Amino acid sequence: MPSETDAVLDRWGVLIARTAAPDEIDFAAQVTRAYAAGGRRRQDLFRTSSSAPGSLGGDLATLLPTLLDALAACGDVIRAVLASPAFANTVSAATLLATLSRRPGRSADSDGHPDPDPEQASSEQASSEQAVQAAFAFRDDLVLRGLPTDQADRIAAQLLAELLRSDPADAAAFLIRLTAREPARPAGSGRPGLLRRLRLRFSDSGAPR
What does each of the 209 residues of the chain score in pLDDT, given as a tens digit? 567 779 999 999 999 999 999 999 999 999 999 999 999 999 999 875 344 454 444 444 489 999 999 999 999 999 998 887 655 455 666 676 677 776 543 333 434 445 544 444 444 455 577 888 888 999 999 999 999 999 999 999 899 888 888 888 999 999 999 999 999 988 864 343 444 444 444 444 444 44
Q: What angle do CA 9, 10, 15 make, to 5 degrees?
A: 100
Domain extents for the chain? 4-201
Q: In sequence order, what are the beta bridge partners of 87? A: none
Neighbours of 56 (CB within 10 A): 20
Q: Identify the H or E element spanning 19.
A: helix 4-20
Q: Identify the H or E element spanning 64.
A: helix 64-73
Alpha helices, DSSP H, located in the chain: 4-20, 28-37, 39-45, 64-73, 75-82, 93-102, 123-144, 149-164, 168-178, 194-201
Amino acid at 2: P
